[in-house]
Amino acid sequence: MRFGTKAIHAGQEPDPTTGAIMTPIYQTSTYVQESPGVHKGYAYARGKNPTRVALERCLAELENAKHGLCFSSGMGAADAIIKLLVPGDEVIATDDLYGGSYRMFTKVFAKYGIVFHFVDMHDFDALERTVNAKTKMLWVETPTNPMMKIIDIERCVEFAKKHNLISVIDNTFASPYLQNPLDMNADIVMHSATKYLNGHSDVVMGALCTNDDNLYEQLAFIANSCGATPGPQDSFLVLRGLKTLHVRMERHCANGVVVANFLANHPKVEKVYWPGFPSHPNHDVAKKQMRDFGGMISFSLKGDRFEDASKLAQAVRVFSLAESLGGVESLLGHPASMTHASIPKPERERSGITDSLLRLSVGIEDAEDLIEDLTNALNAI
């Protein structure tokens, strides 16, 4: 089956008791057993729920994976992955990592004796200098947030294999529609399903997929033991959201092209960060590993004044000023004061997050309305 057909059908059969075409919400915490220990594979809902199983099967097929596992948030999925490690183990992670992952690594797991190194993953010399006998995992995020750098997944996985590291790709920004890291031999692909997978800004959820039976067994054990598994209502909503993933992503990408080009030609805009431009430093890598370039775009303003970015953020009417991304509605964020506020200014500016930098999650509205909205907001500066 092809992507769009899998998005709608994978993991889902008509309900055996009624023929209902949509997977029922199995709102139950436990299951009746025929005799002690004899049941239909379902014993207690922290471990397994049929609505969640349908979602896990569907996600696994979209990532061309053997196994899928869902969690109560993206951070819950990331937490389970790090719990594969033991004290003394080391992880090499992308340097401009999602803030929540950075916080969990440095403020929670560092306390348990796991050591994290944050490295620019375009610099393979730096990777070779950092890896040592204790290194066990490579954690890659691409495209990066908010600078939209593209990291070469194949090269990173090659590096990981050479040094016997578990390779993890946070695929939240791309979604399985744009890139499939397991096809590039990665060990684990992780998602904040809160974003594009659900796509309607009404659920917080996480997921991971793998082809490795042993890793899957360990991760499923951790999920059930530690308990960050999602409920059936949320599983149903994400399963429903997935049915339009391919159609939504096509529109996100089409609107992304229009908005990126509009911004690049606007006299008040300094720089646009979007991997679809041939002038983007990693455009060739993006072309190699992504099906299209997506609707995540960052840009800075001429003069780089915070006040201008703030005025623009308050002047938009179709875009909303909010954290998060990947929903049907267009969002605008100001990384320096929102997602990256805790990073000291010199360090933040070194990585490109200047005072006027704005990040767009371009939604699936009519492109003309998005352009009119941005035109008006830029005129308000």
Ligand X SMILES: *Cc1c(COP(=O)(O)O)cnc(C)c1O
Cα(3)–Cα(300) distance, rounded to whole angstroms? 35
User: CB-wise, 275 or 308, nearer to ligand X?
Assistant: 275
Residue 99 within binding range of ligand X, rule CB under 6 A: no
113-152 residues near ligand X, rule: CB under 6 A:
141, 145
User: CB-wise, 103 or 317, nearer to ligand X?
Assistant: 103
To ligand X, the closest distance from the beta carbon of 171 in angstroms equals: 8
Residue 80 within binding range of ligand X, rule CB under 6 A: no
User: CB-wise, 73 or 167, nearer to ligand X?
Assistant: 73
Other C-beta atoms closer than 10 Å to the C-beta of 380 total 12
How many residues line the site for ligand X (CB under 6 A)?
16
Residue 197 within binding range of ligand X, rule CB under 6 A: no
Residue 75 within binding range of ligand X, rule CB under 6 A: yes
To ligand X, the closest distance from the beta carbon of 268 in angstroms equals: 28
Among 56, 63, 94, 98, binds ligand X (CB under 6 A): 98
User: CB-wise, 74 or 363, nearer to ligand X?
Assistant: 74
Q: Active-site residue numbers?
A: 46, 98, 170, 195
User: CB-wise, 73 or 330, nearer to ligand X?
Assistant: 73
User: CB-wise, 272 or 296, nearer to ligand X?
Assistant: 296
Among 23, 192, 211, 361, binds ligand X (CB under 6 A): 192
Burial of 50 (0-12, 13-18, 19+ CB in 10 A): buried
List C-alpha distances in Å: 23 to 5, 18, 322, 378. 16, 11, 32, 46
Among 11, 50, 206, 241, binds ligand X (CB under 6 A): 206
Give a three-class secondary structure readout of the chain: CCHHHHHHHCCCCCCCCCCCCCCCCCCCCECCCCECCECCCCCECCCCCHHHHHHHHHHHHHCCCCEEEEECCHHHHHHHHHCCCCCCCEEEEECCCCHHHHHHHHHHHHHHCCEEEEECCCCHHHHHHHCCCCEEEEEEECCCCCCCCCCCHHHHHHHHHHCCCEEEEECCCCHHHHCCHHHHCCCEEEEECCCCCCCCCCCCCEEEEECCHHHHHHHHHHHHHHCCCCCHHHHHHHHHHHCCHHHHHHHHHHHHHHHHHHHHCCCCEEEEECCCCCCCCCHHHHHHHCCCCCCEEEEEECCCCHHHHHHHHHHCCCCEECCCCCCCCCEEECCCCCCCCCCCHHHHHHCCCCCCCEEEECCCCCHHHHHHHHHHHHHCC
Among 195, 248, 334, 348, binds ligand X (CB under 6 A): 195
Among 61, 63, 152, 170, binds ligand X (CB under 6 A): 170
Question: Among the candidate windows 48-56, 125-133, 168-176, 214-222, which touches ligand X by CB under 6 A?
Answer: 168-176
Q: Which residue is nearest to ligand X (CB)?
A: 74
To ligand X, the closest distance from the beta carbon of 75 in angstroms equals: 4
Residue 232 within binding range of ligand X, rule CB under 6 A: no
Among 11, 50, 68, 74, binds ligand X (CB under 6 A): 74
Residue 194 within binding range of ligand X, rule CB under 6 A: yes
Question: Among the candidate windows 69-77, 148-156, 224-232, 275-283, which touches ligand X by CB under 6 A?
Answer: 69-77
Q: Which residues bind ligand X (CB under 6 A)?
A: 73-75, 98, 100-101, 141, 145, 170, 172-173, 192, 194-195, 204, 206
